[in-house]
Amino acid sequence: MKAQIEIPAKLIPVFAGQADYRVSWGGRGSGKTRTFAKMTAVRAYQWAMRGDEGTIICGREFMNSLAESSFAEVEAAIKSEDWLAAHFDIGENYIRTTNCPGRIDYSFIGLRRNLDSIKSKSRIKLLWVDEADPVTDTAWEKTIPSVREEDSEIWVTWNPERKNSATHRRFRLDPPPRTLGAEMNWRDNPWFPAILERKRREDLEKRPDSYDHIWEGDFVGLVEGSYFNRQLTAARANNQIGEIHADPLMQLRAYWDIGGTGNNADAVAIWIAQFVGPRILVLDYYEARGQDLATHVNWLRNKGYAKALCVLPHDGKKHDSVFPVTYESELKRADFQVVVVPNQGRGAALKRIEAVRNKFPNIWFNEETTAAGLEALGAYHERQDPIRGIGWGPEHDWASHGADAFGLMAVHHEAPSETGWGTPLTRQRTRVV
């Protein structure tokens, strides 16, 4: 049987040659996700007709339910081709080949919570990771060796967000051998729908700050709906982001958002700052995932912040799930001064956001050392119900850790003593950073 498969011209070379990795990145409306979904079905059909058995894994970093997976994309792609639809059985929570000598099953997983389950899958024929920008190096290092069938492949699609993302560095900056890839944007989609063209033009006119990221595949500058969009724009216009130096007479402070040590744990984020009267000098930013506390302490010491006051969120007093220690106790053992901010109660995240907005006119950033943190602040946004247009509060994603630590700093600057979070800091000499 011969079938004609229509896909965007720029993706033909990606699927035409022999490869271990097939990748595509770019903006909205490019057709890359639908094309990759369709081609997973084509591959499943080819393998099943050959008599093979195995699994196609469709993964995303964040997936709490099947509704957040690639299930709907794969289903729609299969049903768009009558000859494909005749060879697939699609249920409410499964997709598999049928009427073939062999059998290929689809599995839909969230990488953040199910890395170990991939290793238990037998005969993985194909791993397709969509929305792959936030996938970490740790996740790739654990996932890639699990795809080990001789003719198996890994496919990756993503909308670029961060220049330093593991996915960007691994598959675009320095791709592995036998990688075929292409950038895809709206103009590369021959079936770009009229409704998206209207939305694209509206974004170009009304939302220029986010247009290049959404439609042209550029990295995130300021996310549409970012809590601090206006403040960051004003800070750049007022030259508050540039080159600054520490005040040698003022104490250094390290504001933390606590993560964990497991592969699936949230990242640890630390901002280094000084309070100079009403001004906040933001000197440095650090972020790491899956590392132990010693790694974070070594960073502080190696950067000259061994005398910094460590300000922790309320869970700094929480004991580790295995060992009877806390961040507070261990940092004190490492000779750091430590203050733990009590739980602010209901609406704490929004209180931090409001405190940051109020403080922004008096905040100065050292751009070179805080670039990654500024990127997180620009991407920190509200999670929305797409149907009812209701806000569900801050999105918990890669940007939230840096934003939470920054919010802790703003709240602490407002009232470090009145709320019992510690006595006012005294001026003391520290070395210039």
Separation of alpha carbons 305 and 328, rounded Å: 17
Closest of 286, 278, 325, 289 to residue 308, by C-alpha:
286
Q: What is the pTM of this model?
A: 0.61
Interval 22-71: pLDDT, tens:
999 999 999 999 999 999 999 999 999 999 999 999 999 888 788 888 99
Q: What pLDDT, on a 0 to 100 scale, did the predictor assign at position 418?
A: 38
**What confidence category does residue 419 fall into, taking pLDDT thresholds of 50, 70 and 90?**
very low
Separation of alpha carbons 424 and 406, rounded Å: 20
Q: What does 4-51 look like in DSSP terms, one character per residue?
A: -----GGGHHHHHS--SEEEEE--TTSSHHHHHHHHHHHHHHHHHHTT
**What confidence category does residue 422 fall into, taking pLDDT thresholds of 50, 70 and 90?**
very low
**What confidence category does residue 270 fall into, taking pLDDT thresholds of 50, 70 and 90?**
very high
Separation of alpha carbons 307 and 251, rounded Å: 8
Q: Residue written as tokens 């063209």?
A: 197
Other C-beta atoms lying within 10 Å of the C-beta of residue 290 = 19
Cα distances (angstroms) measured from residue 124 to each of 16, 100, 147 = 21, 18, 6
Give phi and psi for 313, each to the nearest 5.
-70, 175
Interval 147-185: pLDDT, tens:
988 889 999 999 998 888 899 999 999 999 999 999 999
**What confidence category does residue 131 fall into, taking pLDDT thresholds of 50, 70 and 90?**
very high
* pLDDT > 70: percent of the chain: 88
Check if the beta carbon of residue 405 is closer than 8 Å to that of residue 255: yes
Interval 184-211: pLDDT, tens:
999 999 999 999 999 999 988 888 777 8
User: What length does the chain have?
Assistant: 433
pLDDT score of 10 more than 90 = yes
Q: Letter for the amino acid at 19?
A: A
Q: Letter for the amino acid at 24?
A: S
Structure tokens at 389: 């247009």
**CA 324, 325, 330 angle in degrees (round to 5)?**
160
Helices 400-414 and 367-379, packing angle to 10 deg: 100
Separation of alpha carbons 38 and 25, rounded Å: 17
Which of 42-56, 67-81, 220-234, 292-306 shows the lowest per-residue confidence on average (mean pLDDT)? Answer: 220-234
Q: What pLDDT, on a 0 to 100 scale, did the predictor assign at position 317?
A: 72
Going by DSSP bridges, is the β-strand pair 309-312/337-340 parallel, antiparallel, or unpaired?
parallel
Q: What pLDDT, on a 0 to 100 scale, did the predictor assign at position 319?
A: 55
**What confidence category does residue 264 fall into, taking pLDDT thresholds of 50, 70 and 90?**
low
Q: Cα dihedral angle (91, 97, 103, 105), rounded to 10 degrees?
A: -50
Check if the beta carbon of residue 243 is closer than 8 Å to that of residue 417: no
Q: Letter for the amino acid at 386?
A: P
Q: Which residues, in sequence order, are CB contacts of 244 under 8 Å at separation 6+?
A: 281, 282, 283, 364, 365, 366
Sorted by where each starts, the structural domains of the chain and their CATH numbers stand as 9-194 (3.40.50.300), 229-414 (3.30.420.280)
Q: Which residues, in sequence order, are CB contacts of 265 under 8 Å at separation 6+?
A: 259, 289, 290
Separation of alpha carbons 217 and 221, rounded Å: 12
Give phi and psi for 414, each to the nearest 5.
-65, -40
Q: What pLDDT, on a 0 to 100 scale, did the predictor assign at position 150?
A: 81
Burial class (CB in 10 A: 0-12, 13-18, 19+), 365: buried
Q: What pLDDT, on a 0 to 100 scale, did the predictor assign at position 64?
A: 76
222 or 21, higher pLDDT: 21
Structure tokens at 386: 């797409």
User: Phi/psi class of residue 335: alpha, beta or left (left: φ > 0; alpha: ψ in -120 to 50)?
Assistant: left
Q: What pLDDT, on a 0 to 100 scale, did the predictor assign at position 221?
A: 67
Separation of alpha carbons 55 and 96, rounded Å: 9
Interval 383-415: pLDDT, tens:
776 566 666 788 888 899 999 999 999 999 876
Check if the beta carbon of residue 127 is closer than 8 Å to that of residue 147: yes
